[in-house]
Amino acid sequence: MSLKLEDVKEEDRGVLAPCGIVCLGCDTYTGGGLEAAKKLKSIWEGGNMVDTSMAIGLNPEEINITLKTLNKYIKASVKGKCPGCYIGGFASQFCGIAKCVKSKGYWTCAECNDYDSSAETACPNEDSNPVPMANKAQMTKMICTRYSRDTCNNLKRCREIGYNAFIKEAKEKVENGWRTWQVISDEMVFTKAFKK
């Protein structure tokens, strides 16, 4: 199957990240997470949950901490929805995968002959960057782990059926309720990487 960036319509280039994340199903892309945070904040503040929390066995101070965290999240999201990594979204500014893919004129790692979706480390091209997210091989391993290898399966599927058919499948999957959080591992992948 021939995979080429020029096969992907401009309006579809935010649907899939270079690493295989289906951005279309990401709550940062859809704005779902931000809307949920705003709604919960509104409900809790409007109902003065701090005052009534003890009646249902909650600690008022923990409610305050949660509200402060929601406020920080909402404030950090003022830039709006993520357009997707390929288009310049959140992580693409420092992600080794996104930089590598773009430097080669690809849309995703599926186009790279070195990428092996079945290998433990799908990208064998370790580079010298000590920052885990900026190192394409380390970032690939973290992404594959975080997304329970769903990203590897997505890129494998792109190779099998081509980009346009994959985009169609991804859109149908998301329309039927699928979201990226459904495949995210509970392993603290990024936390571990940054503690090294």
Residues 127 and 160 in one domain: yes
Structure tokens at 86: 């390929």
* Same domain flag for 107 and 153: yes
Q: Are residues 22 and 69 in the same domain?
A: no
pLDDT tens digits, one per residue of 122-158:
998 888 888 888 889 999 999 999 999 999 999 999 9
The answer on 75 and 89 residing in a single domain is no
User: How open is the CA angle 148-100-154, to the nearest 5 degrees?
Assistant: 30
Query: In whole angstroms, what separates CA 171 from the centre of its chain?
Result: 16
For residues 74 and 140, membership in a common domain is answered with: no
The mean of the pLDDT values for the chain is 91
pLDDT, tens digit (0-9, with 9 covering 90-100), for 81-90? 788 888 887 7
Do 86 and 76 share a domain, yes or no? Answer: no
5-58 pLDDT, tens digit per residue, is 888 999 999 999 999 999 999 998 888 999 999 999 999 999 999 999 999 999
pLDDT at 1: 64
**Percent of the chain whose predicted confidence (pLDDT) is above 90:** 70
Of the residues 80, 111, 140, which one is the last residue of a structural domain?
Answer: 80
Range of the domain at 183: 5-30+82-195
Block residue for tokens 């935010």: 14
Let me know whether 118 and 151 are in one domain: yes
Domain total of the chain: 2
